[in-house]
Amino acid sequence: MLTVVGIQLSEYDMPKYFDPNGLSLNPKDFCIVEFNRHEEVGFVVSIEPYCPVSLTCPGLPKVLRLATEQEIEEWHALKKKELDALNICRQKVRDHGLTMKITNVRFDKHNNKVVFHFTADKRVDFRELVKDLGRALRSRIELWQIGVRDEAKLVDGYGICGRRLCCAGFIREFAPVSIRMAKDQDIILSPTKLSGICGRLMCCLAYEEDLYKKLSRDAVPTGATVKTESLEGLVVDRNLLRQSYSVKDKAGTIHTVKHEEISDVKVPENQEKKQKELKRIKEEEFEEGDSYPADDVEC
């Protein structure tokens, strides 16, 4: 079982996991780690006696050694410079009246430049801003526009599930996520329930999509009338994973019915046409592996 250590490279970032490489480390220890093909200074925030399932343990970057006092002082000085540069940049953005949000800043001492990441709803002409920042910081300036999902991945955090954000933990490339996926899984279409920290549809909606499409091909739709040996009623809810339905009888009592107990199904005519069309689309997608129609909202 591999022990991993959580190390923060900045006071404002979420911890990243590293292989301790046989070193005896304690919380708050500063050390030198291998990150993005360079040696970086960070401090230990946690020591985990297990490898998180979201990580490929053999591929973890390594802790190289403990940091010296001089390296620790340089780290603190660099982080203060980054914070000052971030405040300067945000003030310059307001001065120039630009509609952009500065997410973070990184001093790339290896390439002697300052890199800012920002989000914006549309293209921004920041040429004058770059010149102004270059004069203020006396360094080469780069501004990179990123999407809101990239911003969440960069900043890191925890989702409503209580776990670390998938994008920051293990997702390497973002795949399209559509509202159709939530409909296929019978999830209530509530923005507060379906949206992640980035404000877009949660990436996890796509994880079980293939299974839900397979299960829903022969499932009884909500609103259909069903019969069993001892019951006749209206399907008001269903659980695709358990293959069960909530059926309301004429007296208004709710019963839980298994799929195999149903002997007859009657679907309203208008809903039956819609159900057949959706079933045809799902079967084609399940067989060919195509994506959902382009008129669905994707994130």
Q: What is the mean pLDDT of residues 24-53?
A: 81
| pLDDT score recorded for residue 22 | 84
Residues in the chain: 299
Pick the closest to residue 85 from 112, 104, 58 (CA basis): 104
> Distance of CA 228 to CAs 252, 256, 266, Å?
17, 11, 12
Higher pLDDT, 272 or 75: 75
> For 101-129, what is each residue's pLDDT tens digit?
998 888 877 767 898 989 998 888 999 99
For 52-93, the DSSP string reads: -TTS-GGG--BEEEEPPHHHHHHHHHHHHHHHHHHHHHHHHH
Contact yes or no for 83/69 (Cβ under 8 A): no
What's the chain's average pLDDT?
Answer: 82
Flag whether pLDDT at 210 surpasses 70: yes
Higher pLDDT, 285 or 90: 90
CA-CA-CA-CA torsion sign (166, 11, 38, 131): positive
Q: What percent of the chain shows pLDDT beyond 90?
A: 20
User: At 32, which helix (H) or strand (E)?
Assistant: strand 30-35
Contact yes or no for 22/37 (Cβ under 8 A): no
> For 250-295, what is each residue's pLDDT tens digit?
888 899 989 988 888 888 776 655 555 555 554 454 443 333 333 3
Strand bridging mode 101-108 / 113-119? antiparallel
Q: How many C-beta neighbours within 10 Å does residue 69 have?
A: 8
| pLDDT score recorded for residue 57 | 53
| pLDDT score recorded for residue 70 | 93
Q: What is the mean pLDDT of residues 59-65?
A: 84
For residue 187, report the phi and psi dihedrals to the nearest 5 degrees. Answer: -90, 140
**Least trusted range by pLDDT, from 47-56, 62-71, 259-268:** 47-56
Quick one: the chain helix, strand, coil %, rounded to 5?
35, 25, 40
Flag whether pLDDT at 130 surpasses 90: yes
Q: What is the Cα–Cα distance from 63 to 82, expressed in whole angstroms?
A: 24
**pLDDT grade, residue 218 (50/70/90)?**
confident
| pLDDT score recorded for residue 88 | 94
> Distance of CA 195 to CAs 8, 40, 179, 296, Å?
27, 34, 11, 16
In the chain, where are the structural domains located?
4-67, 74-150, 175-218+270-299, 222-266
Domain 222-266 has CATH 2.30.30.140: yes
For residue 41, report the phi and psi dihedrals to the nearest 5 degrees. Answer: -100, 135
Flag whether pLDDT at 217 surpasses 90: no
Single-letter amino acid, residue 30: F
CATH number of 74-150: 3.30.300.20
For residue 168, the 8-state DSSP code is H
Give 201's contacts (C-beta < 8 A, 6+ positions apart). Answer: 177, 178, 179, 181, 182, 194, 195, 297, 299
For residue 262, the 8-state DSSP code is -
Q: Tell me if domain 74-150 and domain 222-266 are identical in fold.
A: no
The tokens for 12 are 């404002």
Contact yes or no for 243/258 (Cβ under 8 A): yes
Flag whether pLDDT at 202 surpasses 60: yes
This model's pTM is above 0.85: no
Flag whether pLDDT at 53 surpasses 60: no
